[in-house]
Amino acid sequence: MDTRLLHGIVEQKLSFVILFGHGVIGPHGNCAEGSVFRCDAVAQHGIIDGVNERRCKDDTGKGAAQQTCNDLASRARRHLIQRSFSHEYAETEMDRRKAMHPEQLTTEEAQNQTPYRGYAGLPPIAGLASMRDAATEGITVQESVARLKRIHWALKRLHAIFVSRITATPIYELKMAFSLHAHYCAEHVAAVAARVREMRQPPHGLDVSPHPSLDLFFDEILAASGTGALLLGLYEHAVPAVIRALERLIADTNKLFDHPTWRISRFALLEMKDIQHYGDEAIKCLVDDEQRASLSGWLSLLDNALASAGDLDGSVTPIAKPADRHFSAVPYKYDPVPQRDERFQDCYNMGVNAEAMLFNPDVEPLPKTIMLYFKRMREIDVPEMMASILAETAGKPWEYYRDMTRQLWDEARHAMMGEIGFVSLGIDWTKVPLNFTWSLGLNTKLSPKDRHAVLFAIEQGLMPKKAGKEYEWRVAVATTNRLTALIQDYDWADEVLHARIGRDWIVPELGSQAEAQAYGNEVWSRVLVDWSKWVDEGLTQHRNWWPEVYRTACEHWGISPDPELLAYNTTYETIRADLKQVAG
């Protein structure tokens, strides 16, 4: 074999020379007989990432290592074949004469060595690819659709996992991250489905599992017991499998012929890598070696499931592997009860009515900053509640799940805006009781449709100028604090969208907009009658946390607390957040 053939055949850090030299692949690009993946040797050349390196070093990871080896060998072999079409690498008589006696090339042969260019040297093919690559790369429509369908299915399953685990996941940061990652998945599910429908192939099968082993794979991660198993399943197995599938599709797709697929795949890959980066950091923080070791058998089960499916996209030769159900032996059941980590104290506390102060014209704007930040961060309960609607509502068009997940993520954003606000004032937000009574009541006492009705009634109630989001924005502007004004500016914009989402999806189920709003108001009051019960059960004393937090903010502002404001003690016992009376 001409050694020049080995040069340049690698794209995206796949080096045939290094793989061959370390005994990972054979001389013809096949996986070397009996090879064990040489992680230490190959990783230093950047061919495998940290996740695959850890998996290869695992005592039980030989199957996964072999699969990775097969994958790398397949890709190297594919590039080897591609490059054989190139004037630069092909073994031809002209190549040999060029190397030994370049002056003997004919004029025509010399011209053939010059890259094809457009008018005045402009790049051809709109800059997407060289003429050589455009003429030699690409998979068929049928092959492209088959891979897209598998990616579509995987993203739908990932979306469901992220959504389903938000409510009962205690750690606040993970709730927020799962909200974002679910949003990304929902958007790319829609994009991939739209592309499949454009490609002449019937869009059948988008809602059908492409392989039983993939069902097992995602069922196991959905049902994973404990945060460690969930994170390892999501971020060391599922998300990397989607990334591999997207990278293969991007590498194999003709950038001109199948440009729409290439484009949506690049966008999806960008955000899936963002998800992966967060997941890597989360695992470093929350999963220790002991946890990983205890889950080694289960992680091998996930590897075996992917191997049996020919990897997530089906582009690798399937290898039958034993994979009996573990966590999913008992079918997963969504847990609607919100959980919070140990930083959240007094989660039943409803002792400070933020709205009663916020809408009081006699209170100057600056102290209201605290209540605005409190209202924003308290919105952590909205993703907890909306996740229950999504998890327990089946049979809707995907646009419904995409829109609702977008709103879920927006509400998570609002919670983090409040967190930023508290930190900016030097306020320890863990001293502020951020209750979950709203999400708890709706999730455990109302149907998904009724929960959505309550959400719509609240969103629609925020639209009036004098008692809604515009009023909050005006208060924020009046504080002369740019951060507060910016937070409320975007909060207001988001809520306008959310009211429209409600009009699109819940109003048609309940009649007119007025009927939907009236119904939502009625069922909302039915779940807010446990004030005294929570006290009797020892769950809270509805402590008034306002004076302490107000003093801290005044220290930050360099002012003295107003004695009248220090005495503020209006609660939610009889007045809801929309300032209406709680039903008795």
Check if the beta carbon of residue 453 is closer than 8 Å to that of residue 520.
yes
Amino acid 558: pLDDT: 95
Q: Calculate the CA dihedral of residues 257, 259, 260, 266 and round it to 10 degrees.
A: 140
pLDDT computed for residue 52 by the predictor: 45
Other beta carbons within 10 Å of 172: 20
Amino acid, single-letter form, for residue 444: T
Question: Which residue, among 349, 362, 351, has the nearest Cα to 565 in the 3D structure?
Answer: 362
pLDDT reported for residue 573: 87
Burial group, residue 242, by CB count within 10 angstroms (0-12, 13-18, 19+): buried
Look at residue 136 in the predicted model and tell me its pLDDT: 87
pLDDT at 322: 81
Per-residue confidence (pLDDT) for residue 352, from 0 to 100? 95
Spell 106-132 as b/e; 16+ CB within 10 A means b. Answer: eeebeeeeeeeeeeeeeebeeeebbeb
Structure tokens at 108: 């025509």
Give residue 475's pLDDT: 96
pLDDT value of position 105: 53
What's the token pair of residue 93?
């008589």
The pLDDT, as a whole number, for residue 529 is 64
Q: Is 1 exposed, middle or buried (0-12, 13-18, 19+ CB in 10 A)?
A: exposed
Q: Which residues of 359-388 are buried (b: 16+ CB within 10 A; e: fewer)?
A: beeebebbbbbbbbbbbbbbbbbbbbbbbb
Domains, the chain, with CATH or none: 3-102 (no CATH), 141-314 (1.20.1260.10), 354-566 (1.20.910)
Positions of the chain with pLDDT under 70: 1-113, 203, 529, 579, 581-584
Q: What is the reported pTM?
A: 0.82
Task: Residue 248: name the closest of 181, 133, 148 by CA.
Answer: 148
